[in-house]
Structure 1
């Protein structure tokens, strides 16, 4: 029986790797938390998926990019960005930032409940 998708985020390499049945499907560059607001380490799950999240989260039109996938750690998620230059850097308030096209692609493949492992 297939295992399905899972996500591993390597904070030191600033990469998100998507697995299916324990095989690498895609590797995406990401922006992660800065020193003062580090991305949490641990095992999480995707709890919700929201296209064009800014209207739902009360933020300016482009702060969270074109898609938000919330984790089961309140206030943290994987989302797009209006600042593509931030990808690959330590810049966020703890969330995982992706290029909008990448987060949209990822969101089409994973389901709510997908495991997310975040490691240093």
Structure 2
């Protein structure tokens, strides 16, 4: 009877040891499987992080850490590339001012370099008192000029009714007579052949021309 019990106990111990070994193997397999699963889950995230980092370096966007969502690299933060703005290049006229008088169409043209920046109508010399043609330079600039009649020598004082208007811009003289641009209170004569050789302009126009030219500005008068 004792031998039977001892045999039973021995079988029970063997079964218990075998069961314990199997349970250990199952537990180890489960732990290993869980670890591999976690590793597999982390790998795509790391790849994505590398891709995002590479893209950040390429585009200049600041890199963000996937762990705490903070900026990894301050240099990247402050080197964000923006879309370059297309600068609108204006092409303002450049170069010296010059004035051309075209007697045929009775206009004064102001050029800066090769660009026309202004054009004004003008009266020109009448028959027998033709405006001289050629190349000249501005040699006089007078505000509110007086005028002496070339035939009667009568002097007209400056003022709103002065035949020379509000400004005088001279470019020719023979020592006694003078020819230049000047204003006029009578706008009806602008654009006609009416003067004693001068170029009569509206007061508003001669004020502008006075600002545009300086002493020495070239003046070309042509037919």
TM-score (norm 2): 0.51
**SS state of the match for residue 35, structure 1?**
coil
Q: CA deviation at 1:72?
A: 3.5
Of residues 161, 170, 175, the one that matches 1:70 is 170
Query: Which SS does the other structure have where 1:64 is aligned?
Result: coil
Q: Which residue of 1 aligns with 2:111?
A: 19
Cα deviations by residue, 1:66-102 (Å, 9 ceiling, x for unpaired): 0001114341111001211000000000001110010
Contact 1:8/1:117 (CA < 8 Å) preserved in 2?
yes
- Higher CA-based Rg: 2
Task: State how 1:100-119 maps to structure 2 within 5 Å.
Answer: 100-119=203-222
State the match for 2:156 in structure 1: 59
Unpaired runs of 5+ residues, structure 1, are none
The CA distance in 1 between the partners of 2:210 and 2:136, in whole Å, is 16
**Per chain length, whose mean CA-contact separation is higher, i.e. which structure has more relative contact order (CA < 8 Å, sep 6+)?**
1
SS in 1 for 2:141: strand
Per-residue Cα deviation, 1:3-27 (whole angstroms, up to 9, x for no partner)? 3100000001000000001210011
Unaligned runs of 5+ in 2: 1-93, 149-154
Return the structure number with greater strand share. 1
Q: 3-state SS of the aligned residue for 1:7?
A: strand
Aligned residue pairs: how many? 118
Aligned to 2:19: none
| TM-score, normalising length: structure 1 | 0.92
Cα contact 1:44–1:73 (8 A) shared by 2: no
The answer to which structure has the higher helix fraction is 2
In 2, Cα distance between equivalents of 1:107 and 1:4: 15
Partner of 2:200: 97
Partner of 2:105, secondary structure, is coil
Indicate conservation of the 8 Å contact 2:183/2:200, yes or no: yes
